[in-house]
Amino acid sequence: MNQVYEKVVKCYESIKDRIPFKPKVALVLGSGLGNYADTMDVKAEIDYSAIEQFPVSTVPGHAGKFIFGYVKDVPVVCMKGRVHYYEGYPISDVVLPTRLMKMMGAEILFLTNASGGINPSYGAGSFMLIRDHISCFAPNPLIGENIEEFGCRFPDMSTVYDRELQSVIRKTAKECDIPLAEGIYAQLTGPSFESPAEIKMLRILGADAVGMSTVVEAIAANHMGMKICGISCVANLAAGMTDQPLTHEEVQEASNKAAPLFRQLVTESIASF
């Protein structure tokens, strides 16, 4: 058996008896949404550290567990904390949790993150519906022997972010009176923030927001045929767009401030999926 596949299966086997239901939605909580589970009807939790060989995040504020619960009537598995490529894990480990949630039965992957705004019309605290993405320098997680159990060798990427889910989120934002921009998210590896010249490059390439996650997870989920959607919380203007240096604390503070509206948008969207 393929070693990468075998590892996901082993993780699944080690926790399957603790999974309370077949989740419909797999929700990845980005910075600021960490306490999202407080609003859920929680049925079970599994610490990442309790899953053998599971990659555990080393970033302060990203400590992790799977939380299983209902959002309205929808069974959801949440990832509180994700691992990033910059932590030094192989890319197959970075997408292992995504693959594991598909193995649990999740059909929809809802990705959230914090980002730096490149589009000059965005301010700190803006929300951006991810319409498409650009992968920049992070390795493709499908490199290596293809895992047929997950999907085909050359997956189509024409519509990674599901159009129907996008329209549900768009409609929900309107109904909740939450301003929602739409755009292209670029993933760089981090952990350093970008240089102003890199931000200029990304703007020329067509990116509206930049971060250090999400794209590799979307590529792995698309490979497995999941329906994918994503919302980015623009925590700061990207490097060079203001005179201020960027700090992780500033990103967390802005994400926390935007959290109540973000939570509402995520909850009402999931209820309508």
Active site residues: 31, 62, 84, 86-87, 114, 212-213, 236, 248
- The smaller minimum CB distance to ligand HPA, of residues 155 and 190, is found at 190
CB 154 → ligand HPA: shortest distance, Å?
29
CB 259 → ligand HPA: shortest distance, Å?
14
- The smaller minimum CB distance to ligand HPA, of residues 142 and 207, is found at 207
Q: Phi-psi region for residue 144, left (φ > 0), alpha (ψ -120 to 50) or beta?
A: left
CB 123 → ligand HPA: shortest distance, Å?
13
Residue for token digits 């609003």?
A: 39
- As given in the structure block, the two tokens for residue 201 are 């490059």
- The smaller minimum CB distance to ligand HPA, of residues 30 and 69, is found at 30
Residue ranges in contact with ligand HPA by CB under 6 A: 114-116, 193-194, 210-212, 235-236, 238, 246, 251
Which of 88, 86, 74 has the alpha carbon at shortest distance from 27?
74
Sign for the pseudo-dihedral over CA of 92, 97, 103, 105:
negative
Taking the CA atoms of residue 23, residue 25, residue 28 and residue 33 in that order, the dihedral angle to the nearest 10 degrees is -100
Residue showing the smallest CB distance to ligand HPA in the complex: 116
Which of 171, 169, 167, 46 has the alpha carbon at shortest distance from 97?
46
